[in-house]
Amino acid sequence: MATPSIKLLLVATSPIVFEKLAHTDLIGHSLSVAENFCIENGSHTHLSVAAPASLMDRIKKCCAQMHISPELIEVDPLHASALASALATSQPFEIIGIHDTQRPLTRTAQFHRVLGALAGDAGAARPDMAFTETLKVVDSDNVLTRTVDRNSIRRLSTPEFYNKNVIDFNGPASTWFLPLKAGTTTTEVETDPESLRANSAAEVELLEALLHWQKRVV
């Protein structure tokens, strides 16, 4: 049986991906990890980057500095239908993985683990983990009304991997980056603790501390 072609798509949605992290920035770390995964996974795996037009020039500059030439797709990755349409006319693939560049410390082991989850009946897979914080519901007067059962909540991460045949290229948005066909079997794998998403400069500082911890562990 022929090895399926795999597209690994990095998505950038905010200028925060250009925040400095160690000797590079968030997107530089994500590109490095993605490139390592592509090398580890073999020549049938290819790298792409999707981002809005407002970010694309800086992404091109970053790629040039790193001497890599991924496929570049100009689209807002937060709009599932637009992203699906853009992918329908992009370089061909049989499996696609989508990773958020605001999670720069995600290790290649997590990529391999999620991709491996497609080996069974699942058409799509992604990582998640237990939610441990306390959540409260507030009313219109900002009064706490109840506590949310944390056992009913999971914290999602990336990359998400899909078999191409489960993607609904004309479908509406869902809880996934891409619309899924009705009846698609999905599965989840455990997220590595350091696969955190940076949403602010303060959270980038937290990632910096985690990065130093990773280096000490290694």
DSSP per-residue string spanning 98-141? EEETT-TT--HHHHHHHHHGGGSS-SEEEEEEE--S--EEE-TT
In a domain, 139, yes or no: no
pLDDT of 22 reads 87
pLDDT of 180 reads 97
In a domain, 76, yes or no: yes
In a domain, 51, yes or no: yes
Domain that holds residue 107: 6-123+158-217
In a domain, 108, yes or no: yes
**Are the CB atoms for 134 and 62 separated by under 8 Å?**
no
Q: What is the pTM of this model?
A: 0.91
Give residue-wise pLDDT tens across range 101-149: 999 999 999 999 999 999 889 999 999 976 555 565 666 666 566 665 5
Residue 177 to residue 191: CA distance in whole angstroms: 17
Does pLDDT of 202 surpass 80? yes
The domain spanning residue 180 has which CATH number?
3.90.550.10
14 CB-near residues (< 8 Å, 6+ apart): 102
In a domain, 119, yes or no: yes
**Are the CB atoms for 156 and 164 separated by under 8 Å?**
no
In a domain, 136, yes or no: no
| CA distances (Å), origin 198, targets 27, 123, 154 | 11, 28, 18
The number of domains in the chain is 1
In a domain, 166, yes or no: yes
SS3 12: coil
Which residues on adjacent β-strands are paired with residue 45? Answer: 6
Give residue-wise pLDDT tens across range 68-80: 999 999 999 999 9
In a domain, 131, yes or no: no
Bond prior to 159 in cis (omega within 30° of 0): yes
Give residue-wise pLDDT tens across range 14-32: 999 999 998 899 999 999 9
